[in-house]
Structure 1
Amino acid sequence: MLNTADDIEVVAAVDGGRADATTDFLPWPWSSLKAAELTRTGSLFHLSYTLATAAAPVFLGQLVQARRDLSLRLAEISEARAYERLLTAQSVLAKERAQLAREMHDVVSHQVSLIAVQAGALQVAGPDTGTRKAAATIRRLSVETLDELRHMVSVLRASGSRPTELTPQPSLADLRRLVDGSGIEAELKTDLPEDLPPPVQRAVYRTVQEALTNIRKHAPGARATVRVQHGGGTLRATVANTAPTRPALPLPSARHGLAGLRQRAELLGGTVTSGPTADGGYELLLELPTGDPS
């Protein structure tokens, strides 16, 4: 079956070459065969020329077919190399995830477990009510962190196999529990519809969570106010704190929290801005478009 114009042209050229060679070698009309008197040298030269004329289209067709086969072979080789590079990259990523899972399980989880144990002991034997309450908060947060770490380890170890079901993601309904359990004197004010997209709700939750964590680390004794409002097609989440009342402890920080919040907001078409306030405090503002002008 002829599938391409090149195939049709090659076959036509071959058939045409054979026909030309036949008619060129055999004189016409056939009745003149007996009358033709050619010398032996002339006949051999004429025969060689005729055979070459007939063979040229055949060689041309073979050349075109070889070129087509070579192109297909090169395309197959390119696809095979691309697939091999993909498999190699996936293998490297799988090894890195497995190593990360081991580090999280053996180091991070172990240390958080120790924090939870020590906080539990302090909760029982604390010298006063404030200390025991703080120890209870530390223990609760440590246990929640351990649960999240265990899930992250299971997800990393399952990379390359069938997807695992993720844990329920936080929403705006969890803001109250987040603020109340932050260990900070904080006030929550919200005025939001109930049908906001889940990615927007998660972005608000993670922004408030990161802001409260930073206040707890860098502004001890400060009071916080969390406002989440919606209007004019834009959602605004503001977390502001007063000036700290005591020096902050020198805790390690990778300084990736705000960068991650900005990246999350940019993916949703929004922005995150932050900076000090006039009273010595700090304010963080998240703005996200919701597409609803109400």
Structure 2
Amino acid sequence: MRLAEIEEAREHERALHAQAVLARERAQLAREMHDVVSHQVSLIAVRAGALQVAAKNADAKEAARTIRSLSVTTLDELRTMVTLLRASGGRATELTPQPTLADLHKLVESSGTQAQLTGELPPTVGTPAQRALYRTVQEALTNVRKHAPGATARIELWQDASDVGVTVTNTPPTRPSLSLPGSQQGLAGLRERADILHGTLEAGPTAEGGYRVRLRIPLSTD
């Protein structure tokens, strides 16, 4: 009986070790995909978008549009794959769908920040644009929580003649912020998302001492 228990314990230890090795390999692959492949596909999308605007020939313009559209879709799917790889095989996480505008209310409610969400956007907003809008709000609220303790935030979804967007504005902090580690890549990643969708991202302090992040995306990004 004792030998059986020892062998069972060893088998369990071997299984745990194998899972740990797999998790490390998946995390390394996720980093490589994000740092190399994602960057390259982003450049393809941006260059194709510039060519689409500059091209005079109709066939060249259509080819550039197709390349850019495929690049945007590929980049969106790639980011989903990176998220799944970083989950290290957790089944529940892998089955979780990527967020859309429908998830904004839940995001705001669980942000740990006193925030108000206003405005609506049309159902014609594409999936990549919805994710860019969601991630912008997510990053902005994270930064409020980290760098502006006690501040309140206002999230405004808006639409004009040709664009949709979101503006997140927070008040000044009411108490000193803690020194927290950060990758410094949050806003850079948001600008990358905006670029591939022919949009713009503006971020900076307000005259009142708060901070504002504003994303603008053309309604038609095909």
- Counterpart selection for 1:153 from 77, 88, 93: 88
| 1:285 to 2:201 alignment | no
Rounded to whole Å, the distance in 2 between the matches of 1:194 and 1:252 is: 37
Q: Quote the residue 2:25 is aligned against.
A: 98
Deviation at 1:166, TM superposition (A): 6.2
Deviation at 1:254, TM superposition (A): 1.5
Measured against aligned partners, the alpha-carbon deviations of 1:191-213 in whole angstroms (never above 9, x if no partner) come to 21122111110000000000000
Where structure 2 has 5 or more consecutive residues not aligned to the other structure, the ranges are 1-21, 32-82
* 1:38-57 alignment, distance < 5 Å: none
Rounded to whole Å, the distance in 1 between the matches of 2:177 and 2:204 is: 18
| 1:229 to 2:158 alignment | yes
Q: Quote the residue 2:57 is aligned against.
A: none
| 1:246 to 2:179 alignment | no
Q: Quote the residue 1:67 is aligned against.
A: none
- Cα distance change of structure 1 residues 289 and 276 upon mapping to structure 2, 3 Å threshold: same
- Counterpart selection for 1:167 from 71, 85, 96: 96
Rounded to whole Å, the distance in 2 between the matches of 1:180 and 1:188 is: 10
Rounded to whole Å, the distance in 1 between the matches of 2:85 and 2:30 is: 12
* 1:23-38 alignment, distance < 5 Å: none
Where structure 1 has 5 or more consecutive residues not aligned to the other structure, the ranges are 1-94, 105-147, 156-164
Q: Quote the residue 1:194 is aligned against.
A: 123
Conserved in 1, the CA contact under 8 Å of 2:26 and 2:86? Answer: no
Rounded to whole Å, the distance in 1 between the matches of 2:215 and 2:88 is: 30
Residue identity in the other structure for 2:208: D
Percent sequence identity is 50
Which of structures 1 and 2 has the bigger CA Rg? 1
Deviation at 1:149, TM superposition (A): 7.4
Measured against aligned partners, the alpha-carbon deviations of 1:229-271 in whole angstroms (never above 9, x if no partner) come to 1121201210000000000000001200000000011011111
Structure 1 or 2: more helix by fraction: 1
- Cα distance change of structure 1 residues 187 and 260 upon mapping to structure 2, 3 Å threshold: same
Measured against aligned partners, the alpha-carbon deviations of 1:101-137 in whole angstroms (never above 9, x if no partner) come to 5999xxxxxxxxxxxxxxxxxxxxxxxxxxxxxxxxx
Rounded to whole Å, the distance in 2 between the matches of 1:236 and 1:196 is: 10
Residue identity in the other structure for 1:100: A
Query: What SS class does the counterpart of residue 264 from structure 1 fall into?
Result: helix
Q: Taking CA–CA contacts closer than 8 Å with sequence separation of 6 or more, which of the two structures ends up with the larger relative contact order?
A: 2
- Counterpart selection for 1:217 from 118, 121, 146: 146
Conserved in 1, the CA contact under 8 Å of 2:146 and 2:178? Answer: yes
| 1:275 to 2:204 alignment | yes
Rounded to whole Å, the distance in 2 between the matches of 1:166 and 1:231 is: 35
Deviation at 1:100, TM superposition (A): 2.7
RMSD, aligned CA: 2.9
- Counterpart selection for 2:132 from 172, 188, 203: 203
Rounded to whole Å, the distance in 2 between the matches of 1:102 and 1:287 is: 32
Query: What TM-score do you get using the length of structure 2 for normalisation?
Result: 0.60
Rounded to whole Å, the distance in 1 between the matches of 2:168 and 2:135 is: 12
Q: Quote the residue 1:21 is aligned against.
A: none
After TM superposition, which residue ranges in structure 1, 4 or more long, deviate above 6 angstroms?
none
- Cα distance change of structure 1 residues 98 and 247 upon mapping to structure 2, 3 Å threshold: same
Rounded to whole Å, the distance in 1 between the matches of 2:101 and 2:26 is: 34
Query: What TM-score do you get using the length of structure 1 for normalisation?
Result: 0.46
